[in-house]
Amino acid sequence: MASSQLSQILPRVLIVSRRTVRKNKFVDFVGEYHLDLIVGYGAVPVIVPRVSGVHMLLDSFEPIHGVLLCEGEDIDPSLYEAGDVSGLSPEELEEVRCLHVSDTAIDREKDSVELHLAKLCLERNIPYLGICRGSQILNVACGGTLYRDIGKELARKYKPEDATVHMDYNNYDGHRHSMRVVEDTPLHSWFRESLGQGRMEIEVNSYHHQGVKRLAERLVPMAFAPDGLIEAFFDPDAYNPEEGKFIVGLQFHPERMRRPGSEEFDYPGCPAAYQEFVKAVIAYQKKVNSLMNPKDGPKLDQEMEKKRKIIVRSFSLAKHMYVSGHDMLPSKEQDLEAGVEFLESNTALSLQQEKRLKQMGATVRNASAYLKRLKMNEQREMAARSVMGKMSIEQLSELLSFYHMTGKICSEVLEKKLMAT
């Protein structure tokens, strides 16, 4: 098979580079271990260079089948600190800057690019793996917050001898601290072979002075450091690698957990996050391809075709209602119910959409409450119209396609019907 054909077949994983200075010039780089593992498991890493204005060109990197975010400087605190300030004095912040010089130089361009990609993954259910800074980006994108400095904010709760060391410049790659794994999580399954009965701890590396302070609501912890810091988390509603779903953040670096002087991993489970991530990336690519080529997909039986037509009619009616500004007629409530029930079990909303719907008292995930309050409050009804009116046909089509087989055919028909309405 020609190499050009192979590149079209293999899924694409976007990775944003980190910028450094070498011989008085900027150099963009990505750690080789990340690249080796992505390629080794069957995907193509596509490096997004950290250059000015690249955030305006991200559409050019389509198709995106997965996103891996890893190394980088501290995230701009103005992106997460509103209402949850660190409480550190100017003198303490200066101490932090002096101690962690290479990390505290904020890169707003990188922040902009990575937050855009993280939110894109959340909106479209694109597989996402965040390592170290990448996990922090994920938490911030979902509405969580960070410690500006663990040593100043978290360690002060412990005696010096009891505080967990998260950064050891004198033993950079060799430093380890214990981490308690939460049972029945993806992380537990990856390291199961190394976790005996009643023993749920492993030793992990640590290269960070910041970390998760308040975990976003949609995310669930998978591991904790001895000081209580969350070391790993995932979105349980967006995790099923076989179906192309993977939203995971790891504060530690499993790809660098290797025995001294060897390429052998500390634990057999170390590369599992990458393996499962690429598995999800491959499955996601298949979904996208089947959506683009619906003729190759399975045919629907008569009963399924009937259900599909009902859902299409429901969305067409909803679109007409929101665009025209006409109130919902009681006789049409049953027609709307079919579409709302479908969304109730299959919606993947962005954080902004989720917040707007919560402001009106309900989310699309809570369909019955949504309909009742739509009738009771004209102001909330206007807010709902605003949200739905801003959702593109493509977004609706993707919501339909990602979870059910019916989306493979329904999405194309839906788009044509909505455009004709």
Look up 70 and say whether it is catalytic.
no
Could you give the CA distance from residue 78 to residue 100 in angstroms, rounded to a whole number?
Answer: 19
When computed from its CA atoms, the radius of gyration of the chain, rounded to whole angstroms, is 23
66-69 and 128-131 beta bridge pairing? parallel
Look up 341 and say whether it is catalytic.
no
In this structure, what token pair is assigned to residue 71?
Answer: 């190394």
Find, among 48, 40, 51, 50, the residue nearest to 10 by Cα.
40
Could you give the CA distance from residue 284 to residue 66 in angstroms, rounded to a whole number?
Answer: 8
Residue type, 411: S
Could you give the CA distance from residue 294 to residue 251 in angstroms, rounded to a whole number?
Answer: 39
Find, among 152, 155, 118, 112, the residue nearest to 135 by Cα.
118
Could you give the CA distance from residue 399 to residue 402 in angstroms, rounded to a whole number?
Answer: 6
Find where tokens 């170390």 sit.
Answer: 270
In terms of residues, how long is the chain? 421
Which residues 6+ apart lie within 8 Å of 16 measured at CB? 47, 48, 50, 69, 72, 110, 113, 114, 117
Which residues 6+ apart lie within 8 Å of 146 measured at CB? 75, 77, 80, 136, 139, 140, 210, 211, 212, 213
* Among 132, 142, 270, 410, the one annotated catalytic: 132
* Among 121, 253, 354, 398, the one annotated catalytic: 253
Could you give the CA distance from residue 232 to residue 250 in angstroms, rounded to a whole number?
Answer: 4
Find where tokens 């059910």 sit.
Answer: 404
Could you give the CA distance from residue 25 to residue 132 in angstroms, rounded to a whole number?
Answer: 26
Find where tokens 């993977």 sit.
Answer: 246
Which residues 6+ apart lie within 8 Å of 293 measured at CB? none
* Among 114, 231, 255, 276, the one annotated catalytic: 255
Residue type, 347: T
φ, ψ of residue 221 in degrees (nearest 5): -65, 145
Return the sign of the alpha-carbon dihedral for residues 270, 274, 277, 283.
negative
Look up 394 and say whether it is catalytic.
no
Could you give the CA distance from residue 292 to residue 284 in angstroms, rounded to a whole number?
Answer: 13
**Alpha carbon of residue 360 to chain centroid:** 25
Active-site residue list: 132, 253, 255
